[in-house]
Structure 1
């Protein structure tokens, strides 16, 4: 089912935006569609231009680590520039010493001039429901598109939690690790609300074993884990009601669950071998193994390495390297 499309001695990253799947490797970026890579180009960054659209400098980044937003008119990214030396005051008056640090730059795609623009006044970007949040040097959050709509109040509570899941409606689902107000476990903040509610699980689920999988592009919510009876489960939230899907049998660990626009469901598992496998839920309610044209055991399989497109395509990236050496391959399949 999967066909190799490209390979690289640098890490390949997949980014699903509204309207496109973007592939980046090193300083190069392309749009993935129809089993091909389009508009491949090296990313040269320019500083924020003046009123005459003149930039003072340009640079080529070493890597593009994040691309978020809506293609092609609201696209933001995070680029790794490299190691930079900086002078700091020494212990003696008038003396200085030097230190090095990793420099990253927040960038924005300027379609009118076909270029990427560096924004040094922004230190962080993150996708949130239907927008992109940005943080300035002062630490304050704002919407990257300049909107004056309120910032989600849950961000100001200082909760120690795993990465939040944000639905397209703006509801926030978090797994609390530590909080002065909320006990450990899964909570949901309805859009714009300051106080959460306990997340509702299917009857009989062991909450401590449960994991959530959400792709807010499709807004599909899935869960897997163990029932209190000891049985494994996989569930799909449909119209605010949980539907139990056929569970797996045997030793496996669910790594990711994806849904395509046509309604097909794909699930990645890593067997304790370890061995990567991908399954498709058939109309008859069975999990059908999807052929992958390689046989390799992987120590880990990050969920972001499998994405579905708005055209019902699957894009899979696997890095066969090790010990700091990358041997990345990009695969494509039609759902």
Structure 2
């Protein structure tokens, strides 16, 4: 891989995670549009953009070739998981629980490791086990002291963790999989938006600026996912693993510095333990990658 390709992959990865990190600002900018309505617009306008991208890249033959009964069943499951994740995340931001949401995405990488061991039979390195144990102490502390918001963090972490697991097991590329997932979610989303419009309670149609913001949800949703997919193709997994902590860190900063959510001593304890677990996890990943790089190639 050339240095230019790696540099481009790094910029794409940073861009994707930075967009995800400041996404709460966009949801607040929508002016209190209900979470379910935001989700529906996210789905509909994302599909419109993805159809353009797939057509422009001439990827329809590859998408059609990958579609089987098993693939569609798995993508239906992954679509339900990502819709759940998006809905809870939007709801959390709109209800002043961005801190709890960011905690969920800090826990997510460790959930991925646990699922890899439990479901895929992957072996856990010693320091990975220590990292999960440290983070688990943080989750337990959160459960004891802030049980009312723990469900947000765990739902986000588990839904995105299982989403990644399903997508890892399905035989289709990122763009095709995302397009089909979004297409599966579009009919119920359109029905919901039409019902809202008929009842006069929908946000779309009255204000031109708000209409533009809702349409732009397609770009805000699909663009970072496509950037991430390309970054994953160009970058080593260990580098990508380090970048994934950027998004929840930015969410944490936005929650405290911009939204003014209260930062209690319990939050400092929990986030400290989660960050420590993530740091151990990231350090172990880099250490393992360097060890593989130093290993002599046998002809």
> Quick check: TM above 0.5?
no
The normalised TM-score by structure 1 is 0.19
- In our comparison, the structure showing a higher alpha carbon Rg is 1
Relative to total residues, which structure has the larger helix share, 1 or 2? 2
Relative to total residues, which structure has the larger strand share, 1 or 2? 1
The normalised TM-score by structure 2 is 0.21
